[in-house]
Amino acid sequence: MILVPALADIESRASSNAERTVARLLRDVEGDPDAVAFHSVDLRSHAYKQQAEADFVVLWRGVVVVIEVKGGGVRRHDGVWYSIDRRGDWHKLSGSPMEQARSAAYALRDILREEGAGWFAHEAVVITPDIDSPPSAVGWLPTHWLARDDMSAAGLQGALDGVVRNGRIAPNGQKRARMGDLRSRLFGEFTRMPVIDARRGAVLEEQSRATAGQSRVLAALARNPRVLVFGGAGTGKSLVLVEAAKQEADQGRSVLITFHSPALTGFFKPHIAGRSIDLVAFHELPNERAYDVVLVDEAQDMMTADAMDRIDTLIAGGRADGRWRMFLDPNNQAHVDGAYDKDVADLIASEAIIVDLDLNVRNTKAIVHVVQEYLGADVGDPGIVHGEKVQWCTPLGEAQIGAADRVAQQIVADGAHRSDVWIISTTSDAPPTTSPEGFVVTSPRYAKGLEAEHVVVFDLPQTYDEAANAALYVALTRARVSLHIITSKRDKRNLQQLLKDRMFAK
């Protein structure tokens, strides 16, 4: 069964050994290829309090099963429920574990119905893995309280089958939730995308919950062996890839992440540290090794016959019959690094299902609008991130590195961290270096796939062709918080001509 988050994350975050035990067992449960278990789910609305928590929400054979896990012992005395820890101390509970599970199940039902999911079958279950049998009490079916005897993967699978066997039936006249839609909604409700740097504050808070598009893609990745994910810069392709790789590794599959962009190793490494996932740049791939799953980031850079033939050898079962995921932005980033052959891309598309990421979760609205205005590039709906206006700077003389340095110094003087400021030359393809004032200076080739809080763009193209447009696109879309563009008078004239040419082309 797929776990969200991955088992390693649950084991590090779970509040009890009992939850860790149940997570390990759920991971090993088989029998329903569409099954997913979400751990430690915060529910946004609740009948009695603003936020409730379900230890697990499991989608099993089309039924949503809400699970409350209680470690140690559980007893009822004089009508009051207590948990008993390993030292024998009693702790009063606000209600019976079954009442807690049912309350969370009703809260989840209300949330999804408010979002238009329709009616769906749901059950509430209690698991007490440390005791031999549940306490005797009236108010629930014996099948809905699992104890030590059920604590094996086979036992848990049989218990879940028993729970859903006599599940609820939709009332007459009520719209039923479609299982595919329900699955995507659960991914969206409970998946939290990785947080990279807490210093980003409010800008990142709005992006911690998976967007509808990201949840739809995660659901598709879990169900389908071969998937192409299309998305513009800033739509979260690389973060979705990380979550997908964790899920695949959790299933015991051998997993490879590969890419062409030279700087992506540093991005992926902290996200998969300590996991059984190989991270290898395309030009360093081993000669004799096949993986159960191959995930390719920035796949537009490797969209050639030779590169795809090479990837074919890495996949157990080959590209046509094996399991792979490719993430790409072919319209706007296909001419910065590597090579892109449309005929090859069409062939690859015929081998997979295609899903789209269409909500920008990186760039501010102002940045998205500038990119759309001058380049006509689709970087997704700018509906999430609010921030500063794009700053156009025209210093005296030529717009060179000295002017960019002065702008970067002012950004730091206004409160930014020096390490959060990048300077990008749009006409360079050199590796990162430092400016005279000590700021990172990089190029579209090495910035592609990455991001920074504040970006100063300088050295704009003198002529705009396909490659120049792609380089400018990459440079402008790296910023999360602020974007400053250094322009000379000549740059302004060139940009105005670019805008006229684009409008005329319409």
Number of other residues whose CB lies within 10 A of the CB of residue 142? 9
State the Cα–Cα distance between residues 47 and 49, nearest whole angstrom: 6
pLDDT tens for 254-312 read 999 999 887 888 889 988 888 899 999 999 998 778 999 999 999 999 999 999 999 99
Terminal-residue alpha carbon distance, the chain:
49
Q: Which fold has domain 365-505?
A: Rossmann fold (3.40.50)
Single out the residue of 354, 451, 385 nearest to residue 211, CA to CA: 385
Residue 49: pLDDT band with limits 50, 70, 90: very low
pLDDT at 322: 96
Task: Pick the more confident residue, 374 or 69.
Answer: 69
Phi and psi dihedrals of 112, rounded to 5? -70, -30
pLDDT tens string 326-383? 999 866 665 677 788 889 999 999 999 999 888 777 777 888 888 888 887 766 666 5
Domain with CATH 3.40.50.300 in the chain: 224-356, 365-505
Q: Identify the top-confidence range among 77-91, 308-322, 380-394.
A: 308-322
pLDDT of residue 304: 93
* pLDDT score for 329: 87
Query: CA distances (Å), 325 to each of 171, 248, 296, 301, 302, in order?
Result: 40, 11, 6, 15, 13
Which range is least confidently modeled, 16-25, 189-198, 380-389?
A: 189-198
- pLDDT by residue (tens digit) across 152-178? 999 999 999 999 987 777 788 788 888
Is the preceding omega at residue 5 within 30 degrees of 0, hence cis? yes
The residue among 288 and 413 whose pLDDT is bigger is 413
pLDDT of residue 41: 66
Closest CA to 153 of 141, 145, 161: 161
Q: What is the pLDDT of residue 334?
A: 58
Q: Sorting pLDDT into bands at 50, 70 and 90, what band is 72?
A: confident
The pTM is what?
0.70
224-356 is classed in which CATH architecture? 3-Layer(aba) Sandwich (3.40)
Distance from C-alpha of 410 to C-alpha of 439, rounded to nearest angstrom: 12
pLDDT tens digits, one per residue of 432-486 = 999 999 999 999 999 988 889 899 999 999 999 888 988 999 999 999 889 999 9
- The model's confidence at residue 503, banded by pLDDT at 50, 70 and 90, is confident
Highest mean pLDDT among 50-64, 79-93, 202-216, 258-272: 258-272
pLDDT value of position 158: 94
Per-residue model confidence (pLDDT) at position 399? 64
For position 9, what pLDDT does the model report?
Answer: 83
Q: How confident is the model at residue 222 (pLDDT cuts 50, 70, 90)?
A: confident
> Tell me, what's the pLDDT at 203?
33
